[in-house]
Amino acid sequence: MADNDNIQDQDIEVNETQLLNDRIVELQKTYDSLKDQLLRKAAEFDNYKKRIENDLYNITRFANENLIEKLLVVLDDFERFLQHAQEENTDSLNDPFFQGIDLIYNKMLKILEQQGLTKMNTTGQPFDVNIHDALMVMPNTDFKTLPNIVIKEVESGYTLHDKVLRHAKVIVSGELSEQEGGAD
């Protein structure tokens, strides 16, 4: 009977050991699963934090966009005034009034440039629909080998931190047609 009790005790110990081993495996799987979830949540939170920082950076970077866009009309008026003054009177460059207007224009342009505004250089450049608005296409003998070149800028284009704020309004060269080429 003692052998029987001994065998039963051994069976109980084996069963308890097996149950404990099974429980350890189950707990290890739960631990691994929870650790994986924690790592994923930490990565998601890190990505969220980076996205929020990037959004905040862009909001502050382009916060003045609307105001700057409205001030471009004033810059255009200054440019037209100064250009007209030069065309009307060559002595206007020495006139203190025109020099004052030119100083104000340059000061305003410098302030806007410090905020990230950049004037596009378009004349002589290939036409690009991403930065230009073509007002018309003119046949041009100077550019007959290279059509679609900006030959005149009607209204300046501007970028704000490499983002197009206003497209440049331009006149583009076109190819001479057979009729136009024969008329010359």
Domain coordinates in residue numbering, the chain: 1-61, 63-115, 120-184
> Quick one: average pLDDT of 15-37?
93
**Phi, psi for 162 (deg, rounded to 5):** 70, 10
Element housing 132 (H / E): strand 132-139
pTM greater than 0.85:
no
More confident residue, 113 or 86: 113
Q: What is the mean pLDDT of residues 85-89?
A: 79
∠ Cα 5 6 12 (to 5°): 85
- Per CATH, the number for 120-184 is 2.30.22.10
Cα Rg of the chain (Å, integer): 37
Pairing of strands 163-166, 158-160: antiparallel
Pairwise CA distance, residues 140 & 151, whole Å? 8
CA distances from 8 to 21, 46, 58, 102 (A): 20, 56, 74, 106
Interatomic CA distance for residues 148 and 171, integer angstroms: 9
Q: What is the pLDDT of residues 106-163, one digit of tens each?
A: 999 999 999 999 999 998 899 999 999 999 988 876 655 577 889 899 999 999 998 9
Residue 179 and residue 184: Cα distance in Å, rounded?
9
Torsion sign over Cα 74, 75, 80, 81: positive
Q: Choose among 67, 61, 63: nearest CA to 161.
A: 61
Q: Which among 125, 142, 143, 146 is positioned nearest to 134, based on CA atoms?
A: 125
Q: Is the pLDDT of residue 168 over 50?
A: yes
Whose tokens are 């065309």? That residue is: 87
